[in-house]
Amino acid sequence: MTIDVGRASDVGLVRESNEDALLLLGPLGSGGAVLAVADGMGGHQAGEVASGLAVEALQQLLTGAAERDDAESALMDAVRHANRAIWEAARTDRAREGMGTTLVCALVAASGRAIVANVGDSRAYVVSGTRAEQVTADHSWVGDQVRAGRMTADDAEHSPYKHILSRSLGVTSDVDVDVFTDLVLGPGDALVLCSDGVSNHLGLEDFGAVVAASASAQEAAERLVDLALDRGGSDNATVVVARRLD
Ligand code: CA
């Protein structure tokens, strides 16, 4: 085994149901892993349906993809397929009209090579030692304002419009997907995926400190979710971690 994996999800202290979904396949026979976090939205439990459909589509399409030469296109195809599956389901059921989800997903090969794709504001971080770096850019209204230079990151952090997404999965028949291909996990480095119920409560230094202090990927995932709950647990909190062993 070269990639250690862990996951944790909690409804939080305010919400009545958990509309986050996660996927963790691995360590696979090849030593690699497939991971994803989806944060659903929509009334009448439709958010739960949307995030569930997203991870289901990935599971069907990505088993075995981590070590493929065309891993990048496999990941993009899987995300687009997930988008289509949610869009179709929403179109054919009025109660689910308008449902959607964020999705951040990754293929990690045994070599440490990683590919990340995302739509929405669920995030990916790479943690090396006690240092964490955010890989993904939030597809949110405030995120767009910050990138355009119209708002500071600090103002965005406290904006009442923070929850408004500028891109999500399942609301249109096709979707733009961001993909990050040049990631390599060194020995001991971790890739962390999470929903905004975690990133709203934790800063980069928290991700670094918790992962560095955890003996396993599972411990890191549980401690990150616990910390988000300790700080208010204002939303569903979900984390998936893949760490390359020394
Ligand atoms: Ca959320």
Ligand 1 centroid distance, CA of 37 (Å): 11
Question: What is the structure's pLDDT at 157?
Answer: 87
Ligand 1 centroid distance, CA of 163 (Å): 8
Strands (E), the chain: 3-10, 20-25, 33-41, 100-101, 103-108, 113-119, 123-128, 131-134, 178-184, 190-194, 237-244
Ligand 1 centroid distance, CA of 197 (Å): 5
Arithmetic mean of pLDDT, 175-202: 96
Ligand 1 centroid distance, CA of 1 (Å): 32
Question: What is the structure's pLDDT at 44?
Answer: 79
pLDDT: which is higher, 22 or 26 = 22
Ligand 1 centroid distance, CA of 84 (Å): 21
Ligand 1 centroid distance, CA of 168 (Å): 12
Q: Which two tokens mark 98?
A: 């308008």
Asked if residue 67 has pLDDT above 80, the reply is no
Question: What is the structure's pLDDT at 68?
Answer: 77
Ligand 1 centroid distance, CA of 76 (Å): 23
The candidate with the shortest Cα–Cα distance to 118, out of 11, 190, 201, 196, is: 196
| Cα(239)–Cα(232) distance, integer angstroms | 16
Ligand 1 centroid distance, CA of 69 (Å): 33
Question: What is the structure's pLDDT at 105?
Answer: 98
Asked if residue 145 has pLDDT above 70, the reply is yes
pLDDT (tens digit, 9 = 90+) per residue, 201-222?
Answer: 999 999 999 999 999 999 999 9
* Tally of CA atoms within 13 A in the half-sphere of 123 that contains its CB: 21
Average pLDDT, the chain: 94
Ligand 1 centroid distance, CA of 236 (Å): 6
Ligand 1 centroid distance, CA of 239 (Å): 12
Percent pLDDT > 70 in the chain is 100
Asked if residue 243 has pLDDT above 80, the reply is yes
Ligand 1 centroid distance, CA of 29 (Å): 32
The mean-pLDDT minimum among 75-84, 157-166, 226-235 falls in: 157-166
Asked if residue 54 has pLDDT above 80, the reply is yes
Q: Which two tokens mark 137?
A: 């850019």
Arithmetic mean of pLDDT, 168-195: 96
Question: What is the structure's pLDDT at 201?
Answer: 96
pLDDT (tens digit, 9 = 90+) per residue, 92-137?
Answer: 988 898 899 999 999 999 999 999 999 999 999 999 999 999 999 9
Ligand 1 centroid distance, CA of 40 (Å): 7
Ligand 1 centroid distance, CA of 102 (Å): 9
Task: Please check whether residue 205 is in contact with residue 125, taking contact to mean a CB–CB distance below 8 angstroms.
Answer: no
Ligand 1 centroid distance, CA of 110 (Å): 30
Rg, Å, the chain Cα set: 17
| Cα(8)–Cα(238) distance, integer angstroms | 6
Question: What is the structure's pLDDT at 1?
Answer: 60
Give the DSSP letter of residue 68: -
Residue 180: which pLDDT band, with cuts at 50, 70 and 90?
very high
Arithmetic mean of pLDDT, 17-40: 93
Ion ligand 1: residues, CB < 5 A: 39, 195-197, 235
Arithmetic mean of pLDDT, 44-56: 94
